[in-house]
Amino acid sequence: MKKTAVVVIHIGYWLLYFTLISLFVLVSLKLEGTLNIKNYVHLLLMSPLFCLCFIPSLMGFYFFYKYLFPKYFLKKKIGSMILSGLSAVTIISILTSLLVSVIFGKKTLFNDGLISFFSISFVIILITLFHGVVATIIRGFITSYSDITIKEELNRKNYDTELELIKSKINPHFLFNTINNIDTLIHKDPSRASAYLNKLSDIMRFTLYETNTSKIPLNAELEYIGKYVELQKIRSSNINYVKYEVSGEIDSLLIEPMLFIPFIENAFKYSENLKNSST
């Protein structure tokens, strides 16, 4: 996923959270009958509420997002992530409570002694944990989307590569010329044209489906070469233009696919002057 999209997701999430807190403050003041701009801004931005709602939320969110998710979740260490996450949100909650007590005075969180302190700390733990879980979900979504995009890109590149390989395996001039020759032969000798068309089909099938492995039987390669030579012959009026023979034991041997065809193609390429010669 593009960085711009990720940034938009983060900004959108925090704007939504800020809007919910703002609505909560608005409703609270409305119920108390003290709703005015001054009270609203003060309670929202300059009171302990702002620190308690946003400081632990930001710390918890990005601790899960940046550290716990890649360190534990991606490695499927869920138990370790849960323990680390609970420890982290507890520490964040206590530090936030102490910070608020220092900034706004001890009475802010210690009105009822330790009971009020730990009660508020527990609420902060829940808030921090909630944002940590949301951070994990968002990071998981972004990671999954990125993985899918990468896989699609790899599949596309693989498809393009396969097409390029196919193009490199079959000389386009040979293909077009053979089709034209078969087309001409259809009117003169349909049965012979059909035979050549079957050979061309076999060559295409071999190139597309039987050369995707690192090794193929030598006899399969030679059979392909034989059909290739037969198709080259229809382009020549010289019956002695090419002579193709195979000798020796070939059944048990394996070779790289399309190993010999470049040499065969070059042989035909540099013997064009003999194609229509009677010698």
Among 234, 225, 224, residue whose Cα is nearest residue 182? 234
Residue 244 has pLDDT above 70, yes or no: yes
Cα–Cα distance for residue pair 160/151, rounded to 1 Å: 14
> Is the pLDDT confidence value at 113 over 70?
no
Residue 137 has pLDDT above 90, yes or no: yes
Q: Name residues whose C-beta falls within 8 Å of residue 53's C-beta, 6 or more positions apart in sequence.
A: 21, 127
**Cβ-based burial of 72 (10 A; exposed 0-12, middle 13-18, buried ≥19):** buried
C-alpha dihedral sign at 193, 199, 201, 204: negative
Sequence-separated (6 or more) residues with CB below 8 Å from residue 270:
none
- Residue 106: its pLDDT value, please? 65
User: At residue 179, what is the residue type?
Assistant: I
Predicted model pTM: 0.55
Closest CA to 132 of 40, 45, 194, 65: 65
DSSP three-state, residue 10: helix
**pLDDT band, residue 279 (cuts 50/70/90):** very low
Three-state DSSP class for 216? strand
Give the pLDDT band (50/70/90) at residue 120: confident
98-112, 114-128, 176-190, 250-264 — which is least confidently predicted? 98-112
Judge contact between 143 and 74, C-beta under 8 A.
Answer: yes
What percent of the chain has pLDDT above 90? Answer: 18
How far apart (Å, rounded) are the C-alpha atoms in residues 226 and 191? 19
Is the pLDDT assigned to residue 273 strictly greater than 70? no
The answer to whether 239 and 203 are in contact (CB under 8 A) is no
Tokens 């068309």 label which residue?
Answer: 197
Residue 105 has pLDDT above 80, yes or no: no
Q: Compare 80 and 175 and report the one with higher pLDDT.
A: 80
Instruction: Quote the pLDDT of residue 132.
Output: 93
Burial code (b: 16+ CB inside 10 Å, e: under 16) for 201-218 equals: eebeebbeebbeeeebbb
Which residue in this structure is represented by tokens 């632990």?
56
